[in-house]
Amino acid sequence: MELPIVLEKTNDSNKSATILQVKNLKMYFPINKGIIFQSHVGDVKAVDDVSFEVKRGETLGLVGESGCGKSTTGRAILQLYRPTSGSVNFEGTELTTLKGESLRKMRRHIQMIFQDPYASLNPRMTVGSIVGEPLEVHGILNGKDRKERVRELLNIVGLNPYFINRYPHEFSGGQRQRIGVARALAVNPAFIVCDEPISALDVSIQAQVINLLEDLQEQFNLTYLFIAHDLAVVRHISDRIAVMYLGKVMELTDRDELYRSPLHPYTQALLSAVPIPDPIAEAEREKKRVILQGDVPSPVNPPKGCNFCTRCPLIERAKQEKGVDCHVIEPKFQELSAGHWVACHLY
């Protein structure tokens, strides 16, 4: 029997080390035509050449509109979707080449908190069985010891440890999400993908779950990829932020730098839509709204050149200042200053 790793705060001396490296990640879903004799007629380019790094102990926020590929990126990293191409390197191990038992063992170190606490918990299983299932899958503890471990996990996430015999329908949405957090923590992972963990919850409960995630990160030196579309929440919890649009990362930088001086026109449009709590504040009055025209193109047939070219208000400026046609030439994702990456011809 494999012995468990006791939940304890780890040394954060290696906090600057890279724990996850994603390079040129693509996730295409094939479109087939025909019932019996199927032919491949196209692809849904959900994730299209995404690259970034995550440092140990940090939270990287991944934001963008619905359908931009955020959740697909998270699932492709964990190999819940097998990527079409690209590299996902976790602590020196290439995940895209792992199969079978090797991949199963690696999943002990990388876990996921799902978006919908009502759909991600099996209604036929008790809380004890749900939280204890990862321990069973990985052969960690048995019988009474496993039950004690489950109670410990429930206590850590703020639930009564004697609720282990109850079923998911007996809990509120916030409590169910805490159960999902406990399940993710069960095998003491180093890296957790948080796939919009608060979007299905009431606003009053969202703050509680965010605070819980922050406390757990500090206590156990966890590393998060935090996927969300609420920019206020992402600003609160993230150390760095990556902005996605139509399957590509448009901008990636430090949280404060992004909110202080966003470079990409899409990032500028997103941030201009974030409300300020005091509507008569000077910052709110001076705020310049950026209204994007048109709709997001289909990932089946994305635009040539820059993905954002069909809605970008700075197309003519790029042509005049840089002599570049954004409808034809795709911008490179490049580092302009230390840690500030952007994909735009203007820079």
Helix 143-156 and helix 127-137, axial crossing angle in degrees, nearest 10? 120
Closest CA to 22 of 249, 206, 300, 262: 249
- Taking residues 266-294, report their average pLDDT: 73
Rounded CA gap, 7 and 190, in Å?
11
Closest CA to 43 of 235, 241, 247: 247
Chain centroid, CA 84 distance in Å: 19
Token look-up 């709709």 returns: 295
Per-residue pLDDT at 8 exceeds 60 = no
Rounded CA gap, 10 and 14, in Å?
10
- Using DSSP's 3-state secondary structure scheme, residue 109 falls into coil
- Taking residues 52-62, report their average pLDDT: 95
Q: 266 and 250 in contact (C-beta within 8 Å)? A: yes
Q: Where are the domains of the chain?
A: 17-109+189-266
Per-residue pLDDT at 9 exceeds 60 = no
pLDDT computed for residue 13 by the predictor: 45
Q: 207 and 128 in contact (C-beta within 8 Å)? A: no
pLDDT computed for residue 41 by the predictor: 86
Per-residue pLDDT at 284 exceeds 70 = no
- Taking residues 20-48, report their average pLDDT: 91
Instruction: Please tell me the CATH superfamily of domain 17-109+189-266, with its number.
Output: P-loop containing nucleotide triphosphate hydrolases (3.40.50.300)
Rounded CA gap, 153 and 7, in Å?
9
Structure tokens at 139: 């052969």
Rounded CA gap, 256 and 245, in Å?
20
Across all residues in the chain, what is the average pLDDT? 88
pLDDT tens profile 129-178: 999 999 999 888 888 899 999 999 999 999 999 999 999 999 998 999 99
pLDDT band at 229 (very low <50, low <70, confident <90, very high): confident
Q: 223 and 19 in contact (C-beta within 8 Å)? A: yes
Rounded CA gap, 243 and 89, in Å?
21
